[in-house]
Chains A and B, each alone.
Chain A
Amino acid sequence: MALSEPKPRAVRLIFEYEGREVRLVSSEAVDALVPPTDQLDGYDDHLGVWVEVRDADGRPLHRRVLTGPLEETVEVLADDSGPSLRRTRVTGRRGGFAVLVPGFAEADHLSFLSGVGSTARAEGATELARFPLGGGGGS
């Protein structure tokens, strides 16, 4: 469960990215249910990219692992007829994506984090970008 009861409304943030540069395009309140958070602790050694809604003290209130945006590969069918897929590395990939989060009253900011695995555990995940969620998550 989340640390607090979310306000009834959710917030959808729409981003554009190019490579690992992320730009906030819009932030809108939405009257929608939000999928449950991914685990909120015990991921210090995790690899990947995720977003966290954090309070002013930096505590995560909601977390979602991202698959797709900010990756340096794209997925395509591997051959002309088979059921296999493959990935190809691309540089400077561009696109847009949305993040739907609960409208927590305590929400302070949304962070994009990149986890680099256990070899760098002492450093923890790297914060790629941070966007303010003032006024109770923008709602």
Chain B
Amino acid sequence: MTTSDGRVVGTTKIVDAGDPASRWNLVVLGDGYRETELADYATDVKSFTDGLLGSVPFSSLRQAINVFRVDVVSTDSGADDPTTCGGTGAVAATYLDGTFCANGLDRLLVVDDATAMAVATAQVPQWHKIVVSVNSTKRGGSGGEVAVFSQASDSNQVALHELGHSAFGLADEYEYLQGCGLEDDHNRHPPGEPAQPNVTTNADRATLKWRELVASATPLPTTTNPDCTKCDPRTGPPAGVPASAVGAYEGADHFHCGAFRPQFTCRMRFVDQEFCAVCARRIRQVLNPFLPSVVETTGRVTFLRVHDVGTGFGPPSDFLDVEVVVQLDTEPGRAFGFQLREGTTEVVRKGMLDTLRTAFDRNSPVRVDYRRTGIDNGVLVRVADLP
């Protein structure tokens, strides 16, 4: 159950966004795969990677992210599954020593962090994050510097939640520690502001930390918990408030009251949901520097506005100084645009506007290239029809 129980075969760059020196590098390692199971491992890693890059907001950050698959062979298949936690008693000789029942918790699946980091450093010196795929269908996983997931059906989703913590500094948005009804010391959040960007103890409209994403029609706080001795029993936002509305919903950061989350639900609350708008913005903020300076994207035009010089678009901290504003269905919460009358390229710019107008009218997809200008916006430099 050590590195004598297998070997590192090699590394394949399975998603290539460019030079690792300027991209965000995700390294996937395998544990509990025998040599004859490396094809299964490749399939498992592809499934995880497709899930990651197909979800919001990573789908619009593909050009920032390299994914490296490190093939690691273990002597045995699977992971240790001690009987002390009700497991099968299986003992597997694996390179990264994967085991369930860490800290006496049945579904807590861990590997040897130090070995995982040493392998990643040797194979991909520029790694930013390591995830380990364990060859077991038992439900389990863990967070931390090295996120671990099994091959149970929702394990990939748990891994994305754990990436939310360790790679993007997000807090839990659920409103209990051990479970609703299981504790009486998580009624009210202690004084002080959580350091993470997606939970807060301050729901004041003028100073709320995600105030720029709150519509003036959305009440603040958006929900309050009527009984702080329990989790809020609501199953959805109040009548008249759309499910996607960013506000301040009481119950977050492991407390029933006194802490607020940005949207009714989020992957940091339930693993089967998408990241909320505030978490997505945070992930974009972290990964934006890893995008090339000109980014290519495609999508259908959901919003097209042409207005006077100087009107612009967006909040003061993320302002887009443009006359033509475009939003795409594939890039929710983001805006792109350009000045129509600037310089000697007015004819080209009018051509871009015509292409966008036609695509909007026909609901047909376009490809756009934009220069990054902020967290959630960019200046269009090229627009083309897509077949």
Contacts and interface: CB of A to CB of B under 8 A. Distances in A.
A96 B145 contact: yes
- Summarize B's interface: helix, strand, loop or mixed: loop
24 contacts: A31-B21, A32-B125, A32-B128, A33-B22, A33-B24, A35-B287, A47-B194, A49-B195, A50-B195, A64-B169, A66-B169, A67-B169, A68-B145, A74-B102, A74-B108, A74-B143, A76-B105, A76-B140, A83-B273, A87-B254, A96-B114, A97-B145, A100-B128, A119-B192
Nearest to B195: A48
Contact of A83 (B103, B157, B194): B157
Interface residues on B, range: 35 or more
Interface stretch (B1-9, B175-183, B236-244, B347-355): B175-183
Nearest to B120: A98
Interface stretch (B158-166, B294-302, B319-327): B158-166
Contacts, number: 148
Interface of B: 20-25, 102-103, 105, 107-108, 113-114, 117, 121, 125-126, 128, 139-146, 154, 157-158, 161-162, 165-166, 169-172, 174, 176-179, 190-196, 254, 270-273, 285-287, 289-290
Interface stretch (A38-46, A103-111, A131-139): A38-46
Given A16-B114, A93-B103, A117-B192, A35 B289 contact: yes
Contact of A32 (B20, B108, B166): B20
Nearest to B105: A76
B113 A96 contact: yes
A49 B158 CA distance: 23
Contacts of B114: 16, 25, 96
A83 B271 contact: yes
The 3 A-B pairs at the shortest CB distance, nearest first, are namely A117-B192, A48-B195, A97-B145
Given A33-B21, A45-B193, A67-B171, A74 B105 contact: yes
Contacts of B166: 67-68
Interface string A6-22: 00000010101000000
Contacts of A69: 144-145
A69 B193 CA distance: 19
A50 to B, nearest CB: 6
- Summarize A's interface: helix, strand, loop or mixed: strand
Interface string A49-86: 11000000000000011111100011111101001111
A97 B139 contact: no
A33 B290 contact: yes
Contacts of B139: 77, 80
A118 B266 CA distance: 28
Contact of A35 (B105, B171, B176, B286): B286
Contacts of B161: 85
